[in-house]
Structure formats: structure tokens, C-alpha cells
Structure 1
Amino acid sequence: MTVWPLVVAAGVGRRMQADRPKQYLRLNQRLLMDYTLDTLLSYPGVTRLVLVLSAHDPYWPASEFAHDARILRAAGGAERSDSVLNGLRTLQAIASMDDWVMVHDVARPCLQHSDLDALLAQLTFPGAILASLTRDTMKRGRLNAAGQTEISATVEREQLWHALTPQVFPLGLLIRALEFCLEQGVAVTDEASAIEHLGHAPRLVEGRADNIKVTRPADLALVAFYLQQARSGPTNKRGGL
């Protein structure tokens, strides 16, 4: 199969309270985004990668991959879905509409090749995503008259999953799904939800619990720990397309 990674890196990461977007923060003397790009570009069978960056990103030249000819840049949009759609349209120049596109968050630097192996091994139409089963008791909240949040209900956690990335879909189908949601004014927070709006049911593939997304300052220490553990343990790089 032909799979093209698409990395979304156009966000500003306001919740990180940093002086720059989170993808350009350093972990163990390396940019956070460089861990992500390294994992995807070193996966067997990957020849090109689409990277969606802000149109006026001044930090990209600091990346160790800034001059890598395998990276095809696309401009970010107002929302995540706009950025992904821009990346997909850029990918059309080198890919077939029947090829698979693997969308990944740049702020998930702990992704391992073993998860990619598992995801691609179970890949069938209309696509699949990495996810993790919810292990905690889940509560639905509501605001009371005083503006405080209280419990509205306990949600049954059986078959309740956390959506992760990568998420993999046929290029043409994902373009059609995102364009449909844009036309209908439907807000989507991940690519799978756009595919669902077309009436399809992507597959859930259980991934590693350490494939976390850096969102807040406290996440950095945990990600640094996971990366250190991965570096000191057995290699995770195997498999391929």
C-alpha cells in the first residue's frame, strides 16, 4: 500500500503559556517536532511527508529537518480541519486519490513504529485510527445556577475510547469528508469525525498509552520521561509499508 504521512503543525499552543508554539519547545536538547518527524520519516516505506505550518512560521529553520527534501510544506488554516484540507490538497500533486493519508498531530512525539505496524495491519476501507480504551469512571458535567460544575450523570465506559493519532483514510475520501463538513458548517475536531459525517465507521485500533499529546506545561515532563524510556529500551523501529 502507499501511505503518505501528513503532520499538522500550524497551531500556536496557547495553553502551553510558552513564548513559542509547543512544537518548537526543546526536550532533551531536541525540538519536540523533530521527534515526531524522525519517527514518521524513518518508518520503512515512507518516502515523502506533508508538513502543515503557519504561513509566517519563523521557527521552522531551527528544525533539524528544515532542509529535508522529503518534506513537502503546506500552509495552515484558521482551524485544524482547514489546515488538514490544505495539506491534502498539496498532497494531490504527488499522490493518487486512492492512496492512504496518515494524519498525525505534531505534538504527539512518543509515537512508536510498533503502533504504526498495528494500525496499518488492520487498515481497511474506510480507514482506521489509533485509540485507547477509557479506564477511568467517566462523568458528564453540567453548570448549576451558581455557575459551578456538578455531576449530571455517570457515563458507561464500556467501548468508550480516547481518539489518538495517526488516523488513516483514503486521500479522496478524506478530502470529500472535510469539504462536506465545511459546506454544512459542521465543526470537526479530528479526521475520523468528518468520515463519520459521510456515514462511514472507521476502525478503532488500540495503541500505546504513552502516545500522549502535549497540551499543557505539565505534559512536557511526562513526554520527556517517555522519550527517555524509549531511547534506553529495545528499539521500536520495525515493520513498514
Structure 2
Amino acid sequence: MRVAVVPAAGLGKRFGGKKQFFTVMGKKLLEYPLLVMEKSELVDGVILVLPAQDLETGRELQSRFRKVVKIVEGGKERQHSVYRGLLAAKELSPQEVFVHDGVRPLITPALLNDLVVALSDYQVEGVIPAVKPKETVKEAGAPLEPGDFMVNRTLNRDKLLLAQTPQLFRFDVLLECHRKALEEEFIATDDSALIERYGYQTVAIPGDYRNIKVTTPEDLKIVELFLKEFYLV
């Protein structure tokens, strides 16, 4: 069995609202990845992790997406939210788990398939989609004025990857890594970092530059343009 944990418990304080519930082209951002998972034979169930005050919204989504099998209250950090989702998923005894940011609406069925194939072919514990940086990347040094930094050096772009989601893992391994991180009070910015920290292997496959994480209000305009391309509107 293969499930998906979708952390969407952010409060969007810097954004000006909860990004996952912003409407683009008549649907909440969160609905777009749920639509892809709903139609995919590679996803057997979805665990949706939401803010405590939005569980009713989750139940409304659950009424429209039959694969949303559980609604879970999120934690303080994204990592805590994913862990709560994994604990809820454990009852389903999955062998593999997708973890996907609820504010990345532009995923495709092909990407889900590529991740599943790679996890099987490479016999590793995790597979992530990633893209190469397009710009020259500098390492920041000492801070100066707000937003200004001394530059330490230029990094080699050929050795850098920008990680995306969904990421796919062996379920038991990811749950073990989350438990260890909780005990150590270690916080990572994505789940594959936990896999790496505890000695397991992750493989990166080609991602998609359109698979952006909505972070600023400007991103909503970019998402709308790509959604029109995806759905040929």
C-alpha cells in the first residue's frame, strides 16, 4: 500500500493568509494536488494535515475527495505536521509514502510514476524530484545592512540541486527518522534531509521548474499561468 501525507498546516503569517486555501481559477491551491492524487492508481489514500481551526474545511474536502482517508491537526513546524500524518497513516500499514507540500499545486501524474519507478529501480530509501539552479549561486558571508551580505564564494551549480515535492520514501524508514529527529529536537526543512541525517540513501530524479512552492503573493500569478497550460484553459 502507498499513501500520501500532505502537510498543509501553515498559517501564512508573512503571506497575509493561509496560502493553501487561496483560490486560483476557482479552486483552492490545496485542491490541485488532491485532484492528481485522487485520479492516480499509485496513491491508495491521502492523509491531510491542516491547522486546528480548519479541520472542518478538511472534512468538506474529504467529502469530495474519496482518497482523503484522514484529517489530522498539524504541529508547530512542518516536520511536526508530517510526523503526525505518518502516525495517522501507520494504521493503514503502508509500505511507501509520498510527502507533498500542500502549496505546490503543479504536480503531474507522470511525476508520481517516475518517483515510484525510481524507488523500485534504485532500491534506496527515498527518491526526490529536483532541478538545477538557473542562476549563479553565492555563499553568503557576514551580514551588513538588512538584506546585505559579504560574499564568501561562488558555488558550483553543477553540484547543486533544488529539492521539490512530492518525495517518496519507504514508510517505516521515514517514520523511524522522524522519531529520532523528535528525540534529538532536530528540525530539517524537508523529509529527505532526515533520511540523509540518519544514514539512509536518497536519489534525485528530474523535477519540473513549474512545480513551484507558493511562497509570495507574486507566485499566485505564476501558478495561474501554469495551471492554464496544464488544464488548457
TM-score scaled by length of structure 1: 0.88
Cα RMSD, aligned residues only: 1.9
Question: Are 2:10 and 1:14 aligned?
Answer: no
Whole-angstrom CA distance in 1 between matches of 2:160 and 2:47: 31
Question: Are 2:139 and 1:136 aligned?
Answer: no
Whole-angstrom CA distance in 1 between matches of 2:184 and 2:86: 19
Moved over 2 A (4+): 61-70, 142-148
Select the structure with the greater relative contact order (CA < 8 A; seq sep ≥ 6): 1
Whole-angstrom CA distance in 2 between matches of 1:164 and 1:152: 26
Whole-angstrom CA distance in 1 between matches of 2:97 and 2:103: 18
Question: Are 2:190 and 1:190 aligned?
Answer: yes
- Summarize deviations over 1:58-105 as a string: whole Å, max 9, x none: 671695544544311112011111111100000011124xx0000000
- Is the Cα–Cα contact under 8 Å of residues 34 and 63 in structure 1 kept in the other structure? no
Aligned-pair distance for 1:135?
A: 2.5
- Is the Cα–Cα contact under 8 Å of residues 7 and 105 in structure 1 kept in the other structure? yes
Higher helix share: 2
Which deviates the most, 187-196 or 55-64?
55-64
Where does residue 236 of structure 1 map in the other structure?
A: none
Amino acid at match of 2:177: A
- Is the Cα–Cα contact under 8 Å of residues 36 and 111 in structure 1 kept in the other structure? yes
Q: How many residues align?
A: 228
Whole-angstrom CA distance in 2 between matches of 1:78 and 1:110: 26
Please give the secondary structure, in 1, of the residue aligned with 2:53. Answer: coil
TM-score scaled by length of structure 2: 0.91
Amino acid at match of 1:50: I
Please give the secondary structure, in 2, of the residue aligned with 1:232. Answer: coil
Whole-angstrom CA distance in 1 between matches of 2:109 and 2:58: 26
- Is the Cα–Cα contact under 8 Å of residues 48 and 71 in structure 2 kept in the other structure? yes
Whole-angstrom CA distance in 1 between matches of 2:206 and 2:194: 20
From 24, 27, 50, the equivalent of 2:24 is 27
CA 1:156–1:61 in structure 2 vs 1: closer, same or farther (change >3 Å)? Answer: closer
- Is the Cα–Cα contact under 8 Å of residues 34 and 65 in structure 2 kept in the other structure? no
- Is the Cα–Cα contact under 8 Å of residues 129 and 205 in structure 2 kept in the other structure? yes
Counterparts of 1:106-185 in structure 2, within 5 Å, are 106-123=102-119, 124-144=123-143, 148-185=148-185
CA 1:207–1:192 in structure 2 vs 1: closer, same or farther (change >3 Å)? Answer: same
Where does residue 75 of structure 1 map in the other structure?
A: 73
CA 1:52–1:58 in structure 2 vs 1: closer, same or farther (change >3 Å)? Answer: closer
Whole-angstrom CA distance in 2 between matches of 1:17 and 1:66: 28
Structure 2 unaligned residues grouped into runs of 5+:
none
Aligned-pair distance for 1:42?
A: 1.0
Whole-angstrom CA distance in 1 between matches of 2:52 and 2:108: 29
Amino acid at match of 1:186: F
From 72, 97, 101, the equivalent of 1:105 is 101
Whole-angstrom CA distance in 1 between matches of 2:28 and 2:56: 10
Whole-angstrom CA distance in 1 between matches of 2:54 and 2:221: 25
Whole-angstrom CA distance in 1 between matches of 2:103 and 2:30: 7
Which deviates the most, 160-169 or 177-186?
177-186
Where does residue 221 of structure 2 map in the other structure?
A: 221
Structure 1 unaligned residues grouped into runs of 5+:
234-241
Aligned-pair distance for 1:177?
A: 0.4
Whole-angstrom CA distance in 2 between matches of 1:230 and 1:54: 29
- Summarize deviations over 1:103-131 as a string: whole Å, max 9, x none: 00000000011111211111132111111
